[in-house]
Chains A and B, each alone.
Chain A
Amino acid sequence: MSENKKLVEIEHLKQYFHARGTRGKKQYVQAVDDVSFYIYKGETLGLVGESGCGKTTVGRTMLRLYEPTEGRIIYDGKVLFDKDAGISVDMMPYRRKMQIVFQDPYASLDPRMTIGDIVGEPIDIHSLVSDKKERHDRIISLLQRVGLNSEHANRYPHEFSGGQRQRVGIARALAVDPEFIVCDEPVSALDVSIQAQVVNMFEDLQSELGLTYLFIAHDLSVVRHISNRIGVMYLGKLVELADSYELITNSLHPYTKSLISAIPVADPVTARANKRIPLAGDVPSPVNPPSGCRFRTRCPYADERCAKEVPGFKEVTSGHFAACHHLDKVK
């Protein structure tokens, strides 16, 4: 990691979506509520949480694929968006620097475009090349970079397996030489043996090109493998953030603890000895989240204070943040 320079930073980011309320009352899905973090240059920040916790929305809002409801987004020292100051810059030049790889390699590639055109489209949009020959060469070199070859350029997405399609999605993101890539569950749809291939490729690309990643996934073991630091989200809130080894071995928040204990371990002896910390019930609706701490309805430590006060996101030890009133009690 290079001298701790922050590349991307979000402050108090909120993203509310309209939901149809009953009897004309407007309701909002509070997908992301007051989330702040930063990512150092060259670092991988992992973001984990269950479905509906807002991790994907954070990734997309950072790139301003959604217009944030509130908050600030800073990229490389420049403010891209600030609700209070009314700043909202033109994203076009920043799209070259910030890219995304989507979860579903089947839905994110246009079935009627050849692989060459899919990878070439960002090159055309940003007019990165002057002639056809150069465009062709660039596409081929991108495909080779992700482990495909030149013949693949003329084929269509349906001719490829899931793992190969995900490679195409990565090549498309790399086409504009970005600095920062949001990887939104890039390996979730893949089989285990293929998953490892793609994870290794992400690591190689990072060391070759000096990329910075926001790596979003629900699989904590994959995130642990690739990330320098990990953030855990629950119902639109960031509940804990720490160095990845620290987070796994010394987690503070009761939600993180039960999340880690719930992961099925691929080792029979440990698995049999493993004590799960069960969580009662289901995730509440983000339309009417619980008052105070959002985790309190499923938390074994919850008391009255949790219902009244929203716990602050505090730095407990150096670089280890958590949002909970009862950190001293949690074991």
Chain B
Amino acid sequence: MKEKLLEIKDEYLSFFTPAGEIKALNGVSFSMEEGEVLGIVGESGSGKSVTAYSVMGLTAFPGRLVSGTIRFNGHEIHKMTEKDFRKIRGNEVSIIFQDPMTSLNPVYTIGNQIEEVIKLHTDKTAKQAHDRARELLELVGINEPDKRLKQYPHELSGGMRQRVMIAIALACEPKLLIADEPTTALDVTIQAQILELMQELRKKLGMSIIMITHDLGVVASMCEKIAVMYAGHIVEYGTTDEVFYKPSHEYTKGLINSIPKLNTEETERLVPIEGQPVDLMNPPAGCPFAPRCSKCMKICLRQMPPKTQLSETHYSYCWLRQKEEAQKGATEE
């Protein structure tokens, strides 16, 4: 069995606001092997970013890890202090944010910002760091790297800035790259360029990637495993094919059905998921999706469904699957 790179067990994380406790994560568990690409999909507020940020210790005040353990590359993240985090951030794990416009510092040159990371984590000299920065820009497909190193973020286009962000993230060859909606702010043609680049780099450098997105199209082409999140729970987890072709949670089915199909002659009516997203301040007692689920049963409203293991890699949390499993078991006997 391969070494687990990341292992999250039963993570509960809440934001303690003056208005009350917002339960952002309610028992999230998953693990990742080295070199794996995991997609986390879900709507805004489902906890996908919070999960990934907690691996880097980037949970914003007033958020706090309530319970659970996070192990990453031999570190016990849940016990780490700010000082420890500084050593691994940008070094062993790094992140690309959604908005390349705001995540670069406008008053420093591109070169400065890339070299900063290198100098912080290695004992390279200024000259060596500069050369490495140049090399990185070439790696992410930016032409005229010498000119770009001297430029400021406002002089670059959105796609180019996202490439610079990727260069910064890769500066120390991290084991894990977290990409938080890396292409949401970009146009489709630029998005295609960036996704292509990420796939190429992954093959070249062999790192693991957590891809956070709400776009099922992006995960379909990029990821090997998918975790579907809803209201702070992973409701379904499996390989890309399992999740797309044998979706087992009603929410996943809903998500897949609500995407318009591109190349069918007759347009069918979309099947939306009715209702509004959950209020995390007062989450429902049972399955969080129950109030919006078209196949909701009595038990769904009272009790959180247990895990149903559908294959070695595929599981979901839904009472319907539990029922089916029970019936299957009964007929076999």
A interface residues (Cβ-Cβ under 8 A, vs B): 50-51, 161, 163-164, 191-197, 199-200, 203, 218, 220-222, 224-226, 245, 248-249, 258-269, 271-272, 274, 276, 278-279, 282-283
- Can you name the residue of chain B whose Cβ is closest to the Cβ of A255? B189
Q: Which one of B190, B214, B220, B270 contacts A199 once the chains associate, using CB atoms below 8 Å?
A: B270
Contact B221 A192 (CB under 8 A): no
- Can you name the residue of chain B whose Cβ is closest to the Cβ of A249? B263
Q: A164-B276, A193-B43, A271-B220 are in contact. Are A225 and B192 (CB under 8 A)?
A: no
Contact A282 B159 (CB under 8 A): yes
Which residues of A are found within 8 Å of B269, using beta-carbon distances? 200, 203
Which residues of B are found within 8 Å of A262, using beta-carbon distances? 188-189, 191-192
B28 within 8 A of A: no
Within the complex, the shortest CB–CB distance from B189 to chain A, in Å, comes to 5
B267 within 8 A of A: yes
Contact B254 A193 (CB under 8 A): yes
Within the complex, the shortest CB–CB distance from A72 to chain B, in Å, comes to 30
Which residues of A are found within 8 Å of B244, using beta-carbon distances? 266-268
Q: A192-B43, A193-B43, A276-B196 are in contact. Are A264 and B254 (CB under 8 A)?
A: no
Contact B220 A194 (CB under 8 A): no
Which residues of B are found within 8 Å of A224, using beta-carbon distances? 260, 262, 267
In addition to A192-B255, A263-B262, A266-B256, 13 A-B residue pairs with Cβ atoms within 8 Å of each other are A50-B189, A192-B214, A193-B255, A196-B258, A199-B270, A220-B188, A225-B267, A261-B192, A265-B217, A269-B241, A276-B192, A278-B192, A279-B193
- Identify the interface centre among A199, A245, A260, A267: most chain B CB within 10 Å of its CB: A267
Which residues of B are found within 8 Å of A200, using beta-carbon distances? 269-270, 272
Q: A249-B263, A263-B188, A264-B215 are in contact. Are A271 and B43 (CB under 8 A)?
A: no
B3 within 8 A of A: no
Given the complex of chains A and B, what is the CA–CA distance between A279 and B193 in angstroms?
8
B195 within 8 A of A: yes
Given the complex of chains A and B, what is the CA–CA distance between A182 and B259 in angstroms?
23
- Can you name the residue of chain B whose Cβ is closest to the Cβ of A244? B267
Within the complex, the shortest CB–CB distance from A249 to chain B, in Å, comes to 6
B216 within 8 A of A: yes
Which residues of B are found within 8 Å of A195, using beta-carbon distances? 258, 272
Given the complex of chains A and B, what is the CA–CA distance between A218 and B215 in angstroms?
14
Contact A196 B270 (CB under 8 A): yes
Given the complex of chains A and B, what is the CA–CA distance between A199 and B217 in angstroms?
19
Q: Which one of B196, B259, B265 contacts A266 once the chains associate, using CB atoms below 8 Å?
A: B259
Q: Which one of B220, B271, B277 contacts A191 once the chains associate, using CB atoms below 8 Å?
A: B277
Contact B272 A266 (CB under 8 A): no
- Can you name the residue of chain A whose Cβ is closest to the Cβ of B192? A262
Contact B216 A259 (CB under 8 A): no
Within the complex, the shortest CB–CB distance from A246 to chain B, in Å, comes to 10
Within the complex, the shortest CB–CB distance from B71 to chain A, in Å, comes to 29
B218 within 8 A of A: yes
- Can you name the residue of chain B whose Cβ is closest to the Cβ of A248? B263
- Across the A-B interface, give the 3 residue pairs with the lowest CB-CB distance, nearest first: A264-B217, A196-B272, A225-B260
B273 within 8 A of A: yes
Which residues of B are found within 8 Å of A194, using beta-carbon distances? 43, 272, 276-277
Within the complex, the shortest CB–CB distance from B45 to chain A, in Å, comes to 9
Within the complex, the shortest CB–CB distance from B318 to chain A, in Å, comes to 17
Which residues of A are found within 8 Å of B193, using beta-carbon distances? 278-279
Q: A191-B277, A268-B240, A271-B220 are in contact. Are A197 and B272 (CB under 8 A)?
A: yes
Given the complex of chains A and B, what is the CA–CA distance between A200 and B44 in angstroms?
21
Tell me the B28-60 residues at the A interface (CB within 8 Å): 43-44
Mind listing 26 A-B residue pairs with CB under 8 Å? A161-B277, A192-B255, A193-B43, A193-B273, A195-B258, A195-B272, A196-B272, A196-B273, A218-B187, A220-B262, A221-B259, A221-B260, A225-B267, A226-B267, A262-B192, A263-B188, A263-B217, A264-B191, A264-B195, A264-B218, A266-B217, A266-B259, A267-B244, A278-B192, A279-B189, A282-B190
B304 within 8 A of A: no
B327 within 8 A of A: no
Which residues of A are found within 8 Å of B4, using beta-carbon distances? none
Within the complex, the shortest CB–CB distance from A200 to chain B, in Å, comes to 6
